[in-house]
Amino acid sequence: MGPGRAEKAGSKTAAGPFSLTDDNGSQPSFSQLLKDLKAGKVRELELMPRQRVATVYFQNGRSVDVPVFSDNQLLLNTAQDAGVPLTVRDEVRDDAVAGLVSNLLVAALLLTGMALLIRRSAQVANRHLGFGRSQPRLQAEGGVTVRFDDVAGIAEAKEELQEVVTFLKTPERFTSVGAKIPKGVLLIGPPGTGKTLLARAIAGEAGVPFFSMAASEFVEMFVGVGASRVRDLFRQAKAKAPCIIFIDEIDAVGRQRGAGIGGGNDEREQTLNQLLTEMDGFEENSGVILLAATNRPDVLDSALMRPGRFDRRITVDLPDRRGREQILGVHARTRPLAEDVSLSDWAIRTPGFSGADLANLLNEAAILTARRHLAQVDNLAIGDALERITMGLTAAPLQDSAKKRLIAYHEIGHALLTCLVPHADALDKVTLLPRAGGVGGFARMMPNEDILDSGLISRAYLQARLVVALGGRAAEMVIFGPSEVTQGATGDLQTVSRICREMVTRYGFSDLGPMALENEDGEVFLGRDWFRAQPHYSTRTGNRIDTQVRELASQSLDRAVAILGPRRELMDDLVDRLIVEETIDGDSFRQSVEAWESNHPDLAVAGQPLAAVLPGARLAVPMGEI
């Protein structure tokens, strides 16, 4: 091999994977390797026949790979003559070791995957097998931080439940005289009145473990699961006695048995049967007190309500004015109120609000305050929050048009009658600011607090509500004529129809006599909805009922028109003012009406004949004649 060919081979090797050079700096070739062997520069050789590569270890410690032939006797003889040790690597064994390692890695991956699958399958199986286990939310002893001081507006209910707290703290006080604490206490009341909060306060005052579950959590699609969960719940409670179990919305499982179609062997009834057994069965549940809450006590099974199960029923009703003020005070602890905010005034303006409604009121007011970048919650924020809750979100203001003036007359009709009709609710405000949902404006009244507290509604009060409710339609008739009235009174007419029918069929406020001809529609069971009983009065009596309802509504409209007709000038002035100001509060509105009435002392409030007011209309009939 000449120098030219050796140079060419060296350049080809430089472009390949063997880039090491010998001690002279030149790229080694096969011929150079032979020269180095003869020159004694090579310390050791390692031959890899299958790869046709020889690893050369020089005396200076460097090494290089040189391509060779697989069967090269010349290389072997030269190395032997130079006394250079030559080792042949067993590549078959190396390949076997590499294959074994790779197989072991694959096997390990497969075993790991199988282990994960088996573990997940076991978890799924445990969940299926654990269907019958109860998973209540447990508050450990001392874990409930709610106290009676955090519950306001329901003083009577707190006094009734104080005995439960006393028994849990000092049971020997009752057992020494042979007294037994009630096994079950049922809290009854409308939604949002604080039944759940009251149950937590009992656990917090007594300092005992508190188990809480919703009744719907007992029922599953598999038959027998609910009963198993009831057993498991009481088993856990007995282990931590004395303790409290609270079941919310118990009517989900406690409804009357046998009310559906297809028999009583369903999951809900089995759950109820197990609950009845656990509350008063053969086994004593000492120290376990069951609290339950519902707003539908009329649908509960009679066996659940008997003594020995739910011995005590406590009504948690809507708070009165003093209660609302106390509730507002509780929720105002964490909110900075302006100095001019009077919780007593807002308690007066929120009749019929529950504790949850009042909490939402202050929360919405705080949100509006933060949105306006203010530091304190003021009366404006609370007022806007009240309107947002009761009437909905504000919409774009109406433009000064015929529609705006028509809505103004409609609302002024309502507002004016609140000032002129005896026994009517007081006006809070009248506004033309529209609300989402198509409400162009509204006149808001404050219901009579005495009536709400007593629960007794007089005939005169209902008659006044009818007249005020029809004030919008009456104003349209007086101003625009009977042929130009609009559908704006649709909601008012629905209210009027309901009140009139209740007056005739339930309260005996008609010439049909003191008879209750209809009851509230409280049946909610499947079978009773399909096979609803026919009215127990005759067709002739039903026709008379319809006649009485129609007469009540017509006479209320006649009275509203008779009052508003002579006050056309006052209505025009109030409408002009409302269009300009868009909102008039109740006190200012009443002052304007009183000033106008004082200048017209000869104008009668009621009894004005319609013939003098509205051409072609019927004469008004005094409300007392029906």
Residues annotated as catalytic (active site), given as ranges: 411
Task: Give 29's contacts (C-beta < 8 A, 6+ positions apart).
Answer: 6, 9, 10, 13, 66
187 three-state secondary structure: strand
What are the start-end ranges of the H helices in 280-423? Answer: 302-305, 321-331, 343-348, 355-371, 379-391, 402-420
- Dihedral of the alpha carbons of 168, 173, 176, 178, in degrees to the nearest 10: -60
Going through 61-217 in order, the beta strands assigned E by DSSP cover 63-67, 86-88, 137-139, 184-188, 210-214
**CA proximity to 33, closest of 16, 50, 9, 15:** 9
Instruction: Determine the angle formed by the axes of helices 30-39 and 3-14, rounding to 10 degrees.
Output: 110
- Dihedral of the alpha carbons of 310, 312, 313, 315, in degrees to the nearest 10: -150
φ, ψ (nearest 5 deg) of residue 90: -85, 90
Task: Give 179's contacts (C-beta < 8 A, 6+ positions apart).
Answer: none
Residue type, 231: R
| Sign (positive or negative) of CA dihedral 277, 281, 286, 289 | positive
Query: What is the rounded radius of gyration, in angstroms, for the C-alpha atoms of the chain?
Result: 45
> Residue 493 and residue 512: Cα distance in Å, rounded?
23
Q: Are 230 and 134 in contact (CB under 8 A)?
A: yes
How many residues are present in the chain? 626
Residue type, 451: I
